[in-house]
Each structure stands twice: as C-alpha cells, then as structure tokens.
Amino acid sequence: MAQRPIREYAAKMMLARNWRDYFPSSLTFPAKFVPVSPESDLKLLSDQYEWLSTEPLVVKPDMVIGKRGKHGLVLLNQDWKGAKKWLEEKRGQEITINNLSGALNHFLIEPFVEIDKEYYLSFSSTDEGTDILFSDRGGVDIEDLLEKGEVAKLTIGILDDIDTIDLENILFSNVELEYRNKLTNLVKSFYKYYLDLHYAFLEINPFVLKENAFIPLDFKCRLDDAADFEAASKWGEIVYPPEFGAKLTPEEEYIKNLDEKSGSSLKFTILNPEGKIWTMVAGGGASVVYTDTIADLGFVDEIANYGEYSGNPSTDETYQYAKTILDLMTRRKNPDGEAKYLIIGGGIANFTDVAKTFTGIIKALEDYRDKLTETPVKIYVRRGGPNYQQGLNQMKQLGQNIGLPIKVFGPETHMTEIVRMALSEQGA
C-alpha cells in the first residue's frame, strides 16, 4: 500500500470521465489526447483521430519521467508528419536520466496550444491537511517559483470546508479580476476531486484558460492505491506504470507476484547478486535493522539483497520465497572459495507462527542441500515468537541431518548478534 504515480494519459482520462460530477458547467475540459503505447500502429492513429492531421501537435513520453522539457523529450508545434517521424525515431530508444536507463515506449500526443498566460497549481497531502500551491507564472519548476516568491500557498485543514475559505484573496490576489472567479471555482472543484479520488499528490504545471476551457499542459500525480475499494469506480481501470529505469529480475518479479496474491507480505530486492551476505528476515522492521547492521559493520558492498516476509505467511509461501533466495545465492561459487552467508533472522514475532514458516524454509534448504554444500553456504538463524522452540529445534535437527553448518539462536541472543558472528568469521 503506497502512493503510486500514474501516467499523464490515465490522469487526464480520469479527469475527463469525472469532469461533470466535480466541475461547474461554466468550465469545460476539452479532452483531446491520444496515447501511443508499444502496441499502437501510427498509421492507423490519424484515421482514428482526425484532428491529428489538421492541428499542430505536441508529443512527449508518458512514463512518469520528470522534467521532460529539460531532457529534450518534448516535441512542440509540429504537424502529424513531423510528429510521426519523431515518434518513429524515439520509440524504443534507450535513454538515461539520473543514472537510470530505460527504453521510451509510452507517449502522449496533444494539440499544440498557444500560450499567453500559464498557471501553476498543485495539491499535496501533509500531516495538517492539504497544501494548495498556486502561481500565475507557471511553466517553470516549482523550486524556481518558490525561490522567486511567486507562489501563493494555502493549507486546508482536514476538517475545514473549502467553501468557507476566501480563496480569491489568499491565492489569486495577483490575478486579473476577470479570472479570479473562474480560478476559484476551478480550484475548489479540483480540491474536492483530489480528496474524493484519493490523490496523494497532483500537480498541473502549467495550465491555460482559453475562454471557458481548462487546458492542462502537464499533469503529474500520485494515487493512494490503498483507496482502491473506495475510488475504483471513479478511477476506471488503473495500470500503475513501473518506475522509469526499474527493471525487475525474474526472481523479483516472481516474489512480487507471490506478494500480490498473498494476504501476507513478501518483499525481495536484489542489491548485488555477487554479494556474499544474503538475508531472509521476518518483519518489515527487523529486515531493515539486519541490513543496517551489516552495513554498520562495514560490509555494505557484500549485501546481496533486501527483503522481508511477515504477516504469518503459509508454509508454501515461505518455501517458495526461500527457494528463490537459495537458488540465486548458489548459482555461482565464490571466486575466492570463501563461504557465503545466509542470515535467517527475525525479531520475536507477535503472531506469526515460527514453526510453520520455518517448515517452508527447511523444505527449501533440504532441496538445495547439495548446492549449499558446494557453494559453500554458512547459515545463521535467530528468531523468537509463537512456537519458536519447535521451529529452532527443527533447524538444529536439519543441520545435523543434512550436514549443513547451521547455527541457531533464540531470543536470549541479541537480534543482530548473528550478523556480527557471521561477519567476524569473515575477518571483520
């Protein structure tokens, strides 16, 4: 459950679908935009949308990339021929932004709009409520606007009624009189829309008012995906795009799917596949502490993964989870012949059944017995909670039965002490 960005196309579609329910009839939203996905056939688009051939166009990637203009990724004021040529060139092109690389594959085409006055508007959630930022000098970064003191800010408390607040004087005192009323209506409507549809952040920079038309030129937003059950009908079908440059390995993808299907939590990120220290830790808090401790002891470069399982996963889920990690860590022997370390850690569970979750891990360890011996892998276990004695005994038994070096500790040993023990073997 988190705040997740959506594509500009999805955000504008959502706005178009809900426009009548939230915005006054005196304002219109000419929803003119065409998405280009990897499946789109450019030749067919101009038949489908006649205005593409008759109007000047803007084309830009729609992949949750910030500051597209600065990165030269916005094509302005071109006819369809030029746009098509540009798209043909850019589609599939590998680009690098902030050290993250990815191929361009989603775009948005819109009519080019002559601008005389551009506005900035954003909503963001804070502890106190919602911050509304407005500027009549939009089109540049908010940081720059803030620096120049050209932004009006208003915090609306959670229980406040926006209709009782004097927006005109707080936000629009700089704006020409004839626009104030229009903007007040627009912002009030947007605020209700923002709350009702469970946005966590929404920034329109810039937008233009042409007669009665509201024309947003750039739209950036995040939804609170926890609100699915309240807002799904207003959202329509939502596909959350992957973070730009984020490429999940098949193993990460596999655990992600497992996690999405489960009522429990299963997380897994590979940090360094060549690392010597692998962790399989129970609990969102404990997993962080284990990772910290390895780093604190000077082995940050050897941390192979981050992950956690929690919320009482089933035996089969921990089995699949453990197998994925064991498989990755035993694919290659250490070049220097030294051992790799597996930290099966955790705090003292409140309600997760330790024996049950360990049964799955033990089954995976048995499956990988030969590979673990060959690599070789040394295992340190520390855990407490319901049925932990049984779980720890099973681990000890396993060590004896299949001849693996497994050291097992309970709540009497400080949680992260096994990290120190393992790393001191490494000559820390």
Partner 1 sequence: MSSKPEYDLFDHNTAAIIYGYQQNAIQRMLDFDYACKRDLPSVAAIVNPTGGGNHQGFWGSDIINIPIYKQLKDAVTHHPDADILINFASRRSAYQVTIEAISFPSIRTISIIAEGIPEHRTKEIIARAKQNEKMIIGPATVGGIKAGAFKIGDTGGTLDNLIESKLHRPGHVAYLSKSGGMSNELSNIIARNTDGVYEGIALGGDRFPGSSYLDHFKRYEANPDVKMMVMLGEVGGRAEYEIVEALKNGTITKPLVAWCMGTSSEQFSTGVQFGHAGAKAHSDFETARAKNKALKEVGAIVPESFNDLDRKIKETYQSLLQQGKLEPAQDVEPLLVPMDYNQAVAQGLIRKKPNFTSTIVDDRGEELLYCGVPISEVFEEDYGLGGVLGLLWFKMKLPEWAAKFLEMVVLITADHGPAVSGAHNTIVTTRAGKDLVSSLVSGLLTIGPRFGGAVQGAAEIFTEYFYQDQTPKYMVNDMKVKKKNIQGIGHRIKSVTNPDMRVKIMKEYALKHFPVTETLDFALEVEKITTTKRDNLILNVDGCIGALCCDMLRGIGYTHEQVRNFVNLGGLNALFVLGRTVGLLAHIIDQKRIGQGLYRHPWDDILYMLPEHPDNQNN
Q: Give the footprint of partner 1 on this chain (CB under 8 A).
A: 1-3, 99, 125, 127, 129, 157-159, 195, 198, 200, 224, 226-227, 229-230, 246, 265, 267, 269, 271, 282-289, 291-297, 300, 303, 306, 308, 310, 346-351, 355, 384-387, 389-390, 411-412, 414-417, 419-420
Report the candidate in 292, 402, 397, 403 with the shortest Cα–Cα distance to residue 343.
292
Q: Which is nearer to partner 1, 170 or 295 (CB)?
A: 295
Least distance to partner 1 from the beta carbon of 294, Å? 7
Rounded Cα gap, residues 104 and 94, in angstroms: 6
Closest distance of CB 95 from partner 1, Å = 17
Q: In terms of CB distance, is 279 or 330 closer to partner 1?
A: 279
Residue 22 or 179 having the CB closest to partner 1: 22
Chain-centre distance for alpha carbon 217: 24
- Helices 354-367 & 315-329 angle (0-180, nearest 10): 40
Residue whose CB is less far from partner 1, 4 or 32: 4
CB of 348 to partner 1, least distance (A): 4
Tokens describing residue 301 = 């470069």
Distance CA 406, CA 384 (A): 17
Report in angstroms how near the CB of residue 4 gets to partner 1 at its nearest. 11
139, 205 contact by CB (below 8 A): yes
CB of residue 196 vs partner 1: minimum separation in angstroms?
Answer: 9
Cβ neighbours of 261 (radius 10 Å) = 10
To partner 1, the closest distance from the beta carbon of 283 in angstroms equals 4
**Cα–Cα–Cα angle for 78, 15, 156, nearest 5°?**
120
Rank residues 175 and 297 by Cβ distance to partner 1 and give the closer one.
297
For residue 387, count CB atoms less than 10 angstroms from its CB and return exposed for 0-12, middle for 13-18, buried for 19 or more. Answer: middle
Minimum gap (Å) between residue 305 Cβ and partner 1: 10
Task: Go through 155-165 and write b for each residue having 16 or more CB atoms within 10 A of its CB, e for each that does not.
Answer: ebeeeeebeeb
Amino acid identity for residue 349 in this structure: A
Smallest distance, partner 1 to C-beta of residue 149, A: 21
> How far apart are CB 194 and partner 1 at their closest, in Å?
9
- What are the backbone angles phi and psi of residue 334, rounded to the nearest 5°? -70, 135
Measured from the CB of residue 98, what is the shortest distance to partner 1 in angstroms? 11
The Cα–Cα gap between 123 and 286 comes to 34
Nearer to partner 1, 185 or 265 (CB): 265
Q: Where are the beta strands (DSSP E) in 6-128?
A: 34-36, 57-61, 75-78, 94-97, 100-103, 107-111, 119-125
Between residues 109 and 343, which has the closer beta carbon with respect to partner 1? Answer: 343
Instruction: Give the residue among 224, 204, 210 at the shortest CA–CA distance from 8.
Output: 204
Secondary structure, 3-state, 270-295: ECCCCCCEEECCECHHHHHHHHHHHH
Name 252's Cβ contacts closer than 8 Å, sequence gap at least 6: 268, 269, 270
Question: Is the CB of 296 or the CB of 366 nearer to partner 1?
Answer: 296
The residue among 138 and 307 lying less far from partner 1, judged by its C-beta, is 307
CB-CB contact of 27 with 94 (8 Å): no
Q: How far is the CB of 368 from partner 1 (least distance, A)?
A: 23
By C-beta, is 76 or 295 nearer to partner 1? 295
String of DSSP letters for 180-220: HHHHHHHHHHHHHHHHHTTEEEEEEEEEEEETTEEEES-EE
Instruction: Enumerate residues 6+ apart whose C-beta is below 8 A from 306.
Output: 267, 268, 269, 271, 279, 287, 291
Q: For the CA atoms of the chain, what is the radius of gyration?
A: 27
**Nearer Cβ to partner 1 (89/228):** 228
